[in-house]
Amino acid sequence: MKRKFFITSRFKRSLHKFVKGNRRLEKQIEATLSTMEENVFAPNLATHRLKGDLEGFRACSCGYDCRIIFTIEPEPETGEEVIVLLNVGSHDDVY
């Protein structure tokens, strides 16, 4: 099932800060987002639920030390599932 993205301002800020002109990392994140759009539970993403302070959120891997924090929410008007992108960064930055 193909899902749409809702990109939060926090995600935009953290993406800009994390990538800082590193084109290779940028392409890696783009590829991960493309995979998430097609199948957010693809095995290579290692999508998992979070616990503790981040309970209710999910995370996926987009490389060795790159994580994307998100939720899956129903869109109010259509009821379709939307991936809400919340944060991106290194493991230590996002957790």
CATH of the domain at 46: 3.30.2310.20
pLDDT number for residue 93:
85
pLDDT in the model for residue 11: 97
* pLDDT of res. 94: 87
Residue with token string 């981040």 = 54
Which is it for strands 58-61 and 67-74: parallel, antiparallel or unpaired?
A: antiparallel
Predicted pLDDT of residue 65? 87
* Per-residue buried b or exposed e for 18-56, using 16+ beta carbons within 10 Å of the residue's own CB: bbeeeeebeebbeebbeebeeebeeeebebeeeeeeeee
Enumerate residue ranges in the chain where pLDDT < 50: none
> What range does the domain containing 62 cover?
4-94
pLDDT at 21: 83
pLDDT given for residue 17 in this prediction: 95
Q: Can you say how many angstroms the Cα of residue 10 is from the centroid of all Cα atoms in its chain?
A: 12
Task: Give pLDDT, residue 2.
Answer: 82
**Predicted local confidence at residue 38, as pLDDT:** 93
Domain count, the chain: 1
Verdict on whether the full-model pTM lies above 0.95: no
Task: Write down the pLDDT at residue 32.
Answer: 96
